Structures are given as C-alpha cells and as structure tokens.
Structure 1
Amino acid sequence: MANFTKKAIIDAFVKLLNEKTLAKITVTEIITTCEISRNTFYYYFEDIYNLVDYLFNTEIEKLQEITMTSESLSDECELVLDFLKNNRTALKHIYDSANRDQLERYLFKALDQTMLNFVKHCFKDIDIPQGDLHFLARYHKYALVGFLINWLADDDDEELESLLKRISLLTEESIRNYIEKLLEISRQKE
C-alpha cells in the first residue's frame, strides 16, 4: 500500500507539473488530486521540493539501469529521448522556476554516471588512466547538459532527436580521437 500511495502522490504531482509551474502547485492540490490526507503526504515527503528531489533521484536510478545495457552513446540518447519529450512541459516548469538549480543538478547527476559508464565501456580493452576517463566523461557531460538546458528554453521539439544524434556522434568521435592521441603520446614516451 505504501508504494501505491507514494506513486499516487508522484503521479498527481507530475500531472499538475505538466499543467502549471512549480511555484503554483500546492500540497493541497496534490492531496486533492490523489485523494489522500495532508498527513499522508507529509509522511512521505517533507515538502514539494523534497518530492522534486525524490522524483529526480528515482529517474536517475532508472536511467542508470537502462544505460548500463546500451552499446553506444547514440543508443543511450535514444533511451533518454522519450523521457525528455514526454516530460518536457514538467521539466520546463521546473527550469522556469526558482528551483532551476534542482533541474540542473538532476541533469548533471543523471549524466555523470551515464557518461562515465559509456567512456569505460568504449575503452574497456585499453589501459587508460582513470583521470583521463573521468575528464572525458565530465567534459562531454557538461556539453550535453548545456544543449539540454538550451533545448528546454527553446520551443522546437523536433530538434531534440536530431540534436541528440549529432551530439552522440560528435562525442563518440571526440572520445576516440582523444584516446588515440593519449595512446600515441604514451607510445612515443616508451
């Protein structure tokens, strides 16, 4: 019953978030929508911002489980595409609120492990220093978050699919070139 109630609260919140900005959503609206008491809401969440954090952390866990099975960054981007398109209004409402930093932290955290897993997977057979792997993942994570934030600020839904494909191709090629240069420098030192 507890999981059902928590899911009902989250579903009600996401429904409301797709209709209005975060600042205009109240606990009263959430509890009315999912037909629970105020005490029940506060049993699960301290406030709406705690609910946002929980929602983001849950989505990060789902994303990381999914991306562990993909073979390329392009595959990973395809997996993320539906989530972004289906939740664009809700994400935009959070982005346009005073809680923009929560969304940015979510994107950075979600992509942090995803990019690192991808870089490690691409070069699992090559001995590359951990510092370089982390640098590559971090560099491309920042680029991708920048593009996603810009996409949220723009109104062109159709561009996202093309944008993610272009980013993934550029990222994969950039990583390969960087690794080749590292290996070349390493061979020259020997």
Structure 2
Amino acid sequence: MAKNYTRDLIRKEFIKLLNKKPLHNITVTELAKQCNIERKTFYYHYENLTQLIKEIFDEELEKVIEEFNETLSWEEGFILAAKFILDNKKAIKHMYESDYKIDLEKYVFSISGEIMNKYVSLMAENTDAQEIDIKLIAYFYQCALSSSLIQWVATDMRTDPKLIIQRIGELMDGNILLSLKRSEKLEKFTQNFEIG
C-alpha cells in the first residue's frame, strides 16, 4: 500500500513540476525534495525519469481503455482520451519540446488507435465488412486524429480541441458506417497486408 502511495506521489509531483518548467530543468533531486522523500526512494521505485514518464503514459492509456464504453461516440471517446493532455497542457508542451517527444507521439497514436479500433469494430458489428477494411478504416482515422492532436500540441494548443473534434465529427458523420457498407460490396481482399 505504501509503495503505491509513494509511486502515486512521485507521479503527481512530477506532473506538477512539469506544468511549471521544462523537462530538462527537472532533476531527480528536485523531484524527491518536492515529494519529501530521499533520492534513493525515487530510485527504489524508478530507474530514471524515462521509466517514470513511460509509466505515466501507460497508466493514462489504461484509463482510456477502461473508461471507453459502447455508448460513446468516437468524438466523445477521443475527448475523454485526450483529457490528460487537456488537463496538463504545459506539461505536455514541455514533453513535446524535450527528448521525450517521440514518447508523447506514441502515446497520442496509441490513444487514437484504442478509440478508433473499438469504435469502428462496434460499428462493423451490424455489417458484413471485411476484416481488413475494418482495420484500414480504424487505422485511417487513428492517423488523422493523432496527427491533428500532435499538430495542435506543436502550435501551442491555442484552439479548443473539443470544438475541433466535434466539428470534425459533424463533417464526417456517417462516413465510417458508409465505408463499412462499401466494404461489403468490394471484392475479397486476399493479399497479406500489415497495418501500422
């Protein structure tokens, strides 16, 4: 129990620091002091800041997987998935401007994939769409959404992403189902094909 408490405290204080200053200015010593723990306590739980950052992204992804349910639209699911980013804009900006940019991009790509794979699979249940097409449609939207979110981070997050996502949803309404229906009429795809 104490181990989980300490790990939670370290993660929470790290995010607080990251919301205040760039990542390259944060040291394990400073983080330990912020948590009122010794440096060796930090190293008992984490090998380094890289492992801490990876765990933060992994846990946030787990939350997205747990919280997504069949009543959500992909737009609502994506906004829910982006909550961590929206709640920690400065921390995310600092990560984006650091050596951890690639980890942030992987996280965004993963949350986009979780949402779109679940949503497209759910929509496909009432169709005879080919499995490859279900994957292709989900992958297409995963790429589009993750690229949009990363571009939003890169341009200082000035616009409200909720409004943009909702607008995209309105513009694209029905296209996923329409694409799945088109798949039913296409010739069977017989080639080996890897996505991503």
TM-score normalised over the length of structure 2: 0.87
Distance 1:44 1:70 in 2: 38
Shift of 1:74: 2.2
Cα distance in 2 between the residues matched to 1:13 and 1:69:
33
Aligned-residue offset at 1:36 = 0.9
**3-state SS in 1 of match to 2:20:** coil
1:102 equivalent in structure 2: 103
2:143 alignment partner AA: Y
Bigger proportion of residues as helix:
1
Per-residue deviation at 1:35? 0.8
| Residue segments in structure 2 that go unaligned for 5+ positions in a row | 188-196
The one-letter code of the counterpart of 2:105 is: E
- 1:60 and 2:61 matched: yes
Moved more, 120-129 or 100-109: 120-129
Contact 2:96 2:104 in 1 (8 A): yes
- The letter for the 2-side match of 1:41 is F
Q: Which runs of structure 2 are paired with 1:144-155 in the superposition (5 Å)?
A: 144-155=145-156
The offset of 1:172, in angstroms, is 4.7
The residue identity in structure 1 corresponding to 2:44 is Y
The residue matched to 1:54 in structure 2 has which SS? Answer: helix
Whether contact under 8 Å (1:74, 1:169) holds in the other structure is no
Structure 1 Cα separation of the partners of residues 90 and 172 of structure 2: 27
Identity of aligned residues (%): 31
Q: Cα distance, 1:170 vs. partner?
A: 4.3
Which region of structure 1 is more displaced relative to structure 2, 142-151 or 83-92?
A: 83-92
Listed one character per residue, the Cα deviations across residues 69-103 of structure 1 (whole Å, up to 9, x for unaligned) are 43311221342354332111111110111221010
Give the conservation status (yes or no) of the 8 Å contact 1:77–1:165: no
Q: Deviations over 1:12-31 (max 9, x none)?
A: 10000000111111101110
Deviation per CA, 1:53-84, whole angstroms, max 9, x where unpaired? 00000000001111134331122134235433
Contact 1:77 1:168 in 2 (8 A): no
Greater shift in the superposed pair: 80-89 or 8-17: 80-89
SS of aligned partner of 2:125:
coil
Hey, what does 1:138 align to over in structure 2?
139
Report Cα offsets for 1:110-136 as digits up to 9, x if no partner: 222221001011121222222111111
Q: Distance in 2 between matches of 1:81 and 1:51?
A: 20
| Counterparts in 2 of 1:104 and 1:81: CA distance versus 1, 3 Å | closer
Structure 1 unpaired stretches of 5+? none
**1:70 partner SS:** coil
1:67–1:111 CA distance, 2 compared to 1 (3 A): same
Q: 1:165 — aligned with what?
A: 166
Q: 1:20 to 1:90 in 2, by over 3 A?
A: same
- Structure 1 length-normalised TM: 0.90
The change in CA–CA distance for 1:6 and 1:171 in structure 2 (over 3 A counts) is farther
Q: Deviations over 1:29-61 (max 9, x none)?
A: 110000111111111111001100000000000
Number of residue pairs the alignment of both structures matches: 186
